[in-house]
Structure 1
Amino acid sequence: MPKIILFNKPYGVLSQFTDDSGRPTLADHIKRKGFYAAGRLDYDSEGLLLLTDDGALQHQISHPRQKLPKTYWVQVEGEISDEALAALRRGVLLKDGPTAPARAQRLDTPVLWSRVPPVRERKSIPTSWLELTISEGRNRQVRRMTAAVGFPTLRLIRIAIGNWRLGQLQPGEHRLEEVYGAPKADSARHRRRGRTRR
């Protein structure tokens, strides 16, 4: 039975098990053997990263053709405008081409763990949060999208991939689940059962 690890990747941890420069990696948090990351999450981003012990499942989760939706909570500089949200929903033009339409909505400031180091905010400029769901996986896509509509990203947390959700996992914690069936492009339907691991 394929197994999957849901891991809350802290800020400043690489989405890999080794690093020649000595930076923090998955090996500092995941001690289970035979698991590999299904996709990645940037060094300066936080939240849900999936790892699996099954090569076929890894491919199904991470391959761009599967178009699994990924949902992020994004803190941006400034009060996000209706025009900016509308542009994100239509899709925005980046240097590598237009993005697909995203789901975008304002978000009340979520109750979250403190980031280390903390986000550098300017007292004279407010910040706001939005929830953004995309089905693509370009390099630093969410950051580039919010910048393209005039609201630079300050903090980025992935909370869901398909139907897998971060839930109550704290930074550095992970949960092991067994996977029944394969994730689907539309809804990632699957049945699962899990237990918490730290």
Structure 2
Amino acid sequence: MKWTYLLLNKPYGVLTQFSDASDNPRPTLKDYVPVPGVYPVGRLDRDSEGLLLLTDRGALQHRLSNPQFGHPRTYWVQVEGVPEESALEALRQGVTIRGYRTRPGQVRCLGDRPDIPPRDPPIRARQTVPTAWLEMTLTEGRNRQVRRMTAAVGLPTLRLIRVAIAHLSLEGLAPGQWRTLTQAEIETLCRTIGLKPQ
């Protein structure tokens, strides 16, 4: 069987599902990905942006969603305030949120704003409060984890973009664009998580 593997740059405000049964329907993946039978691997909150992997291969969804098979996910995070080194070190070592201690991760300040398109709508900015951009690479993906981690060290998240899942990158995808994985990307991904490519 030939499986389908897609990458989408999920825009802000889009639900990570293919339907919305609410009285006031919001944008969903159906508005961006016209490919039947694929489902997102993991989630990005409605107010988060960036890389989303979609597939119809259940075994791959299981491996990438199960914390037992930890794989790196990299985020660019705009936070309110200027991080002290102690806050960055706490994020690297793991912080306690809701009675759970997060796994250690890689965290660094990016310095300048990354080369990304502006968000639509723009973030709420306060002229008197500086902001900073962090790069965070984590190996687990609990609900709203990045936001809760930065809040735990006094740095509320203003904007959150997932830029990589393992070796797969957001590069070359504008918000709302999607593409299929190359054969080399599929083989590397499957090898990384211990599955046969096809």
Cα distance in 2, alignment partners of residues 176 and 124 from structure 1: 43
Could you say which residue in structure 1 is the equivalent of 2:99? 96
TM-score normalised by structure 2 residue count: 0.90
C-alpha deviation, 1:165, in angstroms: 0.9
Q: Which has more strand, going by share of residues?
A: 1
Cα distance in 1, alignment partners of residues 143 and 56 from structure 2: 25
Question: Where in structure 2 are there 5+ consecutive unaligned residues?
Answer: none
Match of 2:84 among 81, 84, 90: 81
Task: For 1:36, give the aligned amino acid.
Answer: Y
Matches within 5 A, 1:1-198: 1-21=2-22, 22-107=25-110, 108-177=112-181, 178=183, 179-180=186-187, 182-184=190-192
Q: Which moved more, 1:43-52 or 1:60-69?
A: 60-69
Question: Where in structure 1 are there 5+ consecutive unaligned residues?
Answer: 192-198
CA contact (8 A) 1:61 1:183 kept: no
Q: Which has more helix, going by share of residues?
A: 2
C-alpha deviation, 1:54, in angstroms: 1.3
Task: For 2:117, give the aligned amino acid.
Answer: W
Q: Which moved more, 1:68-77 or 1:57-66?
A: 57-66
1:85/1:144 Cα in 2 relative to 1: closer, same or farther (>3 Å)?
same
C-alpha deviation, 1:180, in angstroms: 2.3
Task: For 1:27, give the aligned amino acid.
Answer: K
CA RMSD for the aligned pairs? 1.8
Task: For 2:164, give the aligned amino acid.
Answer: A
C-alpha deviation, 1:2, in angstroms: 2.7
CA contact (8 A) 2:60 2:195 kept: no
C-alpha deviation, 1:38, in angstroms: 0.9
